[in-house]
Structure 1
Amino acid sequence: MRVHFIAIGGSIMHNLAIALSNKGYIVSGSDDYIYEPAHSNLFEHGLLPRENGWYPDKIDSELDAVILGMHAKADNPELIKAKELGITVYSYPEFIYEQSVNKLRVVIGGSYGKTTITSMIMHVLKELGREFDYVVGAKLNDFENMVRISKDAPIIIIEGDDNFASVEDKRPKFLLYKANIALISGIAWDHVDIYPTFESYLRQFKLFIESIAPKGTLIYNKEDKQVQELVSENNSRINKHGYRTPEFTINKGQTSVHTPEGEIPLQVFGRHNLSNLAAAYTVCEWLGISRKEFFRIIQSFKGASRRLEFVTSNSESVVYKDFAHTPSKVKASIQAVKEQYPDKTLVAIMELPSNVSLNEGFLSEYKDTMNKADIPLIFINQETFKQKNLVPLSDSLLRTAFNNENIVCFSTIHSLKRYLQGIDSKGKNLLFMSSGNFGGISLVNFAEEFIS
């Protein structure tokens, strides 16, 4: 089968291209620019385009399918050519569904925790030697790629994104998978650039529940009010199974969960991760995995990339980085580190995403989210505003939105670095929170300078 990727450099797109190549498909692709790690990954597998750009001559009638990435625009010349030739054009979630139509599809949705829950399930299945395919939004330890599509695996575990499927399809991706087992971890307004109101965002999860295959199963967080309301309003003839955060203890920096088998020590921490663990356990239970097997294996789970990921430490301090950028994620991550190290001063640095920092109407959602940080810092990359000819938000506006007069704001990484150099790191922990990259700095070097 011959498949061409328009915008092959995307995070999931290039991993799907590699997965299909490994499956024996003939794969080609284009993009206007390909960043790392996609560039190196595609080169290693012989899939890197010879040059950047869009080339309609790559599209011919011998192609069986074209897969369209979200990065591509409606006027993309390769897309136009594919339509002219009548070639089937898929968004990547549509194509994943076509590849898994005869598999048991487990789709993990929600505003937060998706990657960690998906990772936990994958970790348990792998350790048990179960055959399965997967689509996950982060590079995981012990998994070569972020996508696996095989012929014979009976199950596929999918991280269900609520972003649009493609420029041609304005439905959230998780609707297209038609889950047999669906999970909702919680709902907190996200993607404000495409869902301008909370009501429009909430509706996508209502549709997600309605998209579950007949006689399928919905697993949901019983502690989330919005999820509870959606579940109670839904009359679909599906199984509904709620879960709650289990009881746990923290002793000398070690988190353990209470189970009928006794205290189970974990390598992850934070209430949100204990909720994620309960979600993963419930899914695994539906997949026929016993409680004893699950808790034996989950002890070795070290977490997903950039999800409270350890960076460096010394005898006095520890540094973590986290993908947290939405209000609920920022609050949960700060709380987790404070609970884990109650006697340490917490320096929390959040990089405010460009779509949020340019949206004053959404900023109030961050109210009180950084209040448990002892030293709360906000970084907004001034280049974002320069590129769009906009005036940066004032520090006073940010402090008002966050309801925290102690917040210190930075618009350049150099000013942030100078500030941290003036702090005595002894007895202080550092938490980086961002869906970006803090202006491209090396967080490892940055962190090591801080603790030294």
Structure 2
Amino acid sequence: MKIHFIAIGGSAMHNLALALKEKGDQITGSDDTIFEPSKSRLDKAGLLPEKMGWFPEKITDDLDAVILGMHAKEDNPELLRAQEKNLTIYSYPEFLYEQSKDKTRVVIAGSHGKTTITSMILHVLHYHGKEVDFMVGAQLDGFDNMVHLTKENDFMLLEGDEYLSSAIDRRPKFHLYQPNIALISGIAWDHVNVFPSFENYVDQFKIFTEEMVNGSILVYNEEDALVKEIAEAATKPTRKHAYKTPEYSINDGITYLETPEGEMPIEIFGQHNLNNLAGAKWVCQHMGIDEVDFYEAIASFKGASKRLEKIVDRRGTIVYKDYAHSPSKVKATTTAVRKQFPDKHRIIACLELHTYSSLTKDFLKQYKGSLDDADEAIVFYSPEALDIKQLESLSEEEIQEAFEHPNLKVYVNAHLFQEYLKEDSFVNSVVVLMSSGNYGGLDFDKLKDWI
């Protein structure tokens, strides 16, 4: 196929472009700006556009398909040309469905945990040599791409994001996949710019179960009351399997999972990650991996990129980088670190308010108590991010009032925040850096020299 990508530089889009080229398709693309690592990866594959910008002349009659990224707007000149020519236009999730409509589709959904659960499943399948097609939201050890497509594989494993599909398709991505096997990990209000009320957000998960294939399988977290309610009311799946956090213990900074064969040390930690593991086990069993083989493989799982990823461990000080940004995930991560390292002198939790939701005044109150398990809390946000998202300004007092942490510092200047990291000795401490951004340009590799 000859396929053109509008907004090829996105994290998901460029991985799909690389996967299709590897599969043998002819790929072109455009974008107005492309950041690393997308830029280098596209360049290496010969897919980096020669010039940045939109060029309608790239939209030719011989294209078999045009894939439209979420970054592109409705008035994008290349999109308008494709519409004029009546070409086949797909959103990212639409195209993935087209590639997998004759396969068994396994979709992992939820407000949090879906990347980790998808990564766990892939790790286990890869460990046992079981080949599947997939799309996951983070880079994984042992995998070159976040997307893999073939003609021959029986399964397609998809991370089911609830954000919108494209500028001309306002359906949540996970509504388009029509799963044969699905998992819902948890529900906590997110994307308030798209789903203006909690009720509206919850409805998207109800619709997700209605879009499942008749006679499908639903795996769900019974410890989340909303998920349990939705799962029990769902009519499309005929088999339903609830999961909950398994028994575990922590000894000298190592988490031990209780298994039928006894205690087993694992690389990951935190109740939320153990809960994710239980869900991943059920899905793997439905994909042909028995329980014993699952435990053998999961023992070596170190986590998905940026999900409680250890980046510094020296002289008694440990630093983690975590993608946490929603209130529930921030609380889960902070609590996990506290429980894992009860003997450390200090737990320092740093949170960047970066998403539209986290920077919205009405939503900010959802963060109350989320950093309570930290001895010291740091909140960073960029006033420029508020301007870009056209949101009202925030004051330090409003943030202090929202979090209600007795030892909270607020930074709005990236340089001053970095100076804080350089100047504090952090002796016998754990620092966790939570963000979906990069703290205004923080080079995480340099932390090894500062701490």
Report the TM range for the smaller structure's normalisation. over 0.9
Q: What is the one-letter code of the residue matched to 1:56? A: P
8 Å CA contact 1:319–1:447 kept in 2: the answer is no
SS in 2 for 1:440: coil
8 Å CA contact 1:353–1:434 kept in 2: the answer is yes
**1:435 offset after TM fit, Å?**
0.3
Provide the aligned C-alpha RMSD in A: 1.3
Does 2:361 align with 1:360? yes
> Which deviates further from its counterpart, 143-152 or 439-448?
439-448
SS in 2 for 1:238: strand
**1:194 offset after TM fit, Å?**
1.1
Find the aligned partners of 1:389 and 1:76 in 2 and give their Cα distance.
21
Q: What is the one-letter code of the residue matched to 2:350? A: I
1:444 alignment counterpart = 445
**1:359 offset after TM fit, Å?**
1.0
Does 2:348 align with 1:347? yes
8 Å CA contact 2:212–2:237 kept in 1: the answer is no
CA pair 12-354 structure 1, distance change in 2 beyond 3 A: closer
8 Å CA contact 2:217–2:237 kept in 1: the answer is no
1:152 alignment counterpart = 152
1:276 alignment counterpart = 276
Alignment of 1:349-428 (within 5 A): 349-385=350-386, 387=388, 392-428=393-429
**1:392 offset after TM fit, Å?**
3.3
Find the aligned partners of 2:363 and 2:388 in 1 and give their Cα distance.
21
8 Å CA contact 1:357–1:393 kept in 2: the answer is no
Q: What is the one-letter code of the residue matched to 1:20? A: L
Alignment of 1:117-136 (within 5 A): 117-136=117-136
**1:389 offset after TM fit, Å?**
7.3
Find the aligned partners of 1:10 and 1:348 in 2 and give their Cα distance.
29
Find the aligned partners of 1:387 and 1:181 in 2 and give their Cα distance.
39
**1:235 offset after TM fit, Å?**
3.0
CA pair 419-282 structure 1, distance change in 2 beyond 3 A: same
**1:404 offset after TM fit, Å?**
1.9
2:166 alignment counterpart = 166
Does 2:295 align with 1:295? yes
8 Å CA contact 1:174–1:208 kept in 2: the answer is yes
Q: Deviations over 1:79-124 (max 9, x none)?
A: 1111111111000110001011111110000011111100110011
**1:224 offset after TM fit, Å?**
0.2
SS in 2 for 1:115: helix
Q: What is the one-letter code of the residue matched to 1:19? A: A
SS in 1 for 2:157: strand
Unaligned runs of 5+ residues in structure 2 are none
SS in 1 for 2:78: helix
Find the aligned partners of 2:109 and 2:286 in 1 and give their Cα distance.
17
**1:387 offset after TM fit, Å?**
4.8
1:139 alignment counterpart = 139
Q: TM-score, with normalisation over the residues of structure 1?
A: 0.97
Q: Deviations over 1:293-318 (max 9, x none)?
A: 00011111111000000101113211
CA pair 387-82 structure 1, distance change in 2 beyond 3 A: closer
Find the aligned partners of 1:386 and 1:349 in 2 and give their Cα distance.
22
Q: Deviations over 1:381-440 (max 9, x none)?
A: 132245567663111111111122321100012222333444331121111000001111
CA pair 99-371 structure 1, distance change in 2 beyond 3 A: same
Find the aligned partners of 1:356 and 1:66 in 2 and give their Cα distance.
31
> Which deviates further from its counterpart, 105-114 or 410-419?
410-419
8 Å CA contact 1:178–1:212 kept in 2: the answer is yes
Q: What is the one-letter code of the residue matched to 1:434? A: S
Q: What is the one-letter code of the residue matched to 1:219? A: V
Q: What is the one-letter code of the residue matched to 2:218? A: L
Q: What is the one-letter code of the residue matched to 2:42? A: L
8 Å CA contact 1:132–1:156 kept in 2: the answer is yes
Q: Deviations over 1:35-82 (max 9, x none)?
A: 111111111111111111111111111111110000011011111111
8 Å CA contact 2:219–2:241 kept in 1: the answer is yes
**1:236 offset after TM fit, Å?**
3.1
2:36 alignment counterpart = 36
Q: What is the one-letter code of the residue matched to 2:293? A: E
**1:441 offset after TM fit, Å?**
1.4
Unaligned runs of 5+ residues in structure 1 are none
SS in 2 for 1:144: coil
8 Å CA contact 2:418–2:442 kept in 1: the answer is no
Q: Deviations over 1:338-367 (max 9, x none)?
A: 111011110110001241354111011111
1:304 alignment counterpart = 304
Does 2:184 align with 1:184? yes
8 Å CA contact 1:220–1:243 kept in 2: the answer is yes
Find the aligned partners of 2:315 and 2:136 in 1 and give their Cα distance.
35
2:113 alignment counterpart = 113
SS in 2 for 1:348: strand
Find the aligned partners of 1:127 and 1:237 in 2 and give their Cα distance.
29
Does 2:77 align with 1:98? no
1:226 alignment counterpart = 226
Find the aligned partners of 1:43 and 1:81 in 2 and give their Cα distance.
26
8 Å CA contact 1:164–1:173 kept in 2: the answer is yes
CA pair 186-194 structure 1, distance change in 2 beyond 3 A: same
Q: What is the one-letter code of the residue matched to 1:119? A: S
Find the aligned partners of 1:448 and 1:348 in 2 and give their Cα distance.
20
Q: What is the one-letter code of the residue matched to 2:138? A: A
Q: Deviations over 1:255-306 (max 9, x none)?
A: 0100111111100111111011001101011112111100011111111000
Find the aligned partners of 1:416 and 1:22 in 2 and give their Cα distance.
42
Alignment of 1:223-262 (within 5 A): 223-262=223-262
SS in 1 for 2:144: coil
Find the aligned partners of 1:67 and 1:100 in 2 and give their Cα distance.
16
**1:445 offset after TM fit, Å?**
1.1
Q: What is the one-letter code of the residue matched to 2:156? A: I
CA pair 358-268 structure 1, distance change in 2 beyond 3 A: closer
**1:10 offset after TM fit, Å?**
0.8
> Which deviates further from its counterpart, 267-276 or 420-429?
420-429
8 Å CA contact 1:368–1:403 kept in 2: the answer is yes
CA pair 393-237 structure 1, distance change in 2 beyond 3 A: closer
CA pair 237-160 structure 1, distance change in 2 beyond 3 A: closer
